[in-house]
Amino acid sequence: MYTEDTIAAIATPPGIGGVGIIRVSGTRCFEIVSTLFQAKGTVPLEKRPNRTIQYGHIIDPQKGNKILDEVLVLIMRGPQSFTAEDVIEIQCHGGIVVVREILKVLLRQGARLAEPGEFTKRAFLNGRIDLTQAEAIIDIIEAKSEQSLSVAVKQLDGTLAKLIRTIREDLIALIAHLEVAIDYPEEDIEELTMEETADKLRPILVQIDTLLATANRGRLLRDGIVTAIVGRPNAGKSSLMNALLRENRAIVTDVPGTTRDSIEEAITIEGIPVRLIDTAGIRETEDIVEKIGVDRAKEYLESAQIVVCVIDASKPLTPEEEAILHSTSGKNTIVFLNKADKGAVVTDSMIAQYGTFTVVATISAANGEGMDILAEAVKQLVYGGTVQNESTALLSNVRHITLMEQAKSQLQTSLETIEAGMPVDFVVTDMREAWERLGDITGDSLRESMVDELFSRFCLGK
């Protein structure tokens, strides 16, 4: 990518809307837009005040200055812009054709079509934001709930980066002291003993552990909780799904095996995103299509973070239900005894014989019961009974979590090296590796190939 190029892209989603925005950034920004923009006044665009909006028309010079649309042009000069370069945003009417035509003319006049995420990438490369803030932007766009949005916004304001940089500063100060003592033994520099080095490393490890302790909560808030509804055919799974969604999403009939494939829907419970999956009824079957659905149901049963096991309490337990109960014992499993109003054959005490479960409750899925119980399980999984602290930075990104764990591992190795009485050079090597991994999180020591890969996840115009 050539950062000296002037780039352009449509910044609004495809489709018809009230307003369409085309964003232009780079050194030739004013030059290119000026060839297309006709304003009412005579002052050239590049001489107009910063952070102002100009009214006029976009024309096509190749078609006799034909007017393409009536527009507003927003001027943002660098470095006080998102990319830290000169930026102009053209706000036109939100039709599909007009937005594309304006972009086409901009490209013809010398702009280059921006790559996915290139505007944000330029903001990063120009020092406007760090990598955690860049990744927070895509998390804001993809936020599934108010809570996941809150986590992303907290990352965007630099809270996480500040914490990581503080840890890096403490670490590099310790590394520098040790390296100076190694490289200049003749100088009158106070040497740190290995015991003193270990004493300074332990608080750094505590800071890393504190951040890693937030990882599970942050990941769940960012990605959502996979909740699988499992059970035998006709137990009431689809009725429960519809009740939780408050709409008839899944087909409900008295015919066993109606749901042959998994149905997934996203809902928000207590501000937490939940991926709700209605699975095929688990039973032995010769039907090839139904068998595929049953196999998928078993996979979800193993991978889900919460399992909702629906039992038809009006009928004796089947071998399949017994197998489900055995396999989900000790996990985050809610057992709903459904249809008990028809005469309970299965009771709480009978379920207890098959293992330990988070909740065993009698409900009527047809009447919409069970949401309160599921909501409590969701909150317990995310917050674990602790009070939510809005000011705390959370690790929610898998890349960040992995790198933080690697940094912790390197520092633990440093302590082990000290305890083993190894030379100080080995200790410093592991400490520097930890410092590098922390720098990979913020982008302070990130490789260019990794930067390209990260920004390729962004949409065009962002």
Known binding residues are 23, 89, 128, 234-239, 253-259, 278-281, 338-341, 462
Q: How far is CA 275 from CA 76, 214, 241, 263, 264, in A?
A: 41, 21, 11, 10, 7
Give the separation between CA 29 and CA 88, rounded to whole angstroms: 7
CA 397 to chain centre: 6
Helix (H) or strand (E) holding 229: strand 225-231
What size, in residues, is the chain?
A: 462
SS3 call for 210: helix
Q: Which residues are annotated as a binding site for GTP?
A: 234-239, 253-259, 278-281, 338-341
Q: State the DSSP string of 263-331.
A: EEEEEEETTEEEEEEEPPPP-----HHHHHHHHHHHHHHHH-SEEEEEEETTSPPPHHHHHHHHHHTTS
Q: Which residues are annotated as a binding site for Mg(2+)?
A: 238, 259
Q: How far is CA 150 from CA 66, 113, 184, 268, 377, in A?
A: 46, 32, 49, 14, 21
277 CB-near residues (< 8 Å, 6+ apart)? 226, 227, 228, 229, 262, 263, 264, 300, 304
Sheet holding 225-231, edge to edge: 263-269, 272-278, 225-231, 306-312, 333-338, 359-362
CA 351 to chain centre: 37
Q: Which residues are annotated as a binding site for K(+)?
A: 234, 253, 255, 258
Which position has the token pair 């297309």?
Answer: 36
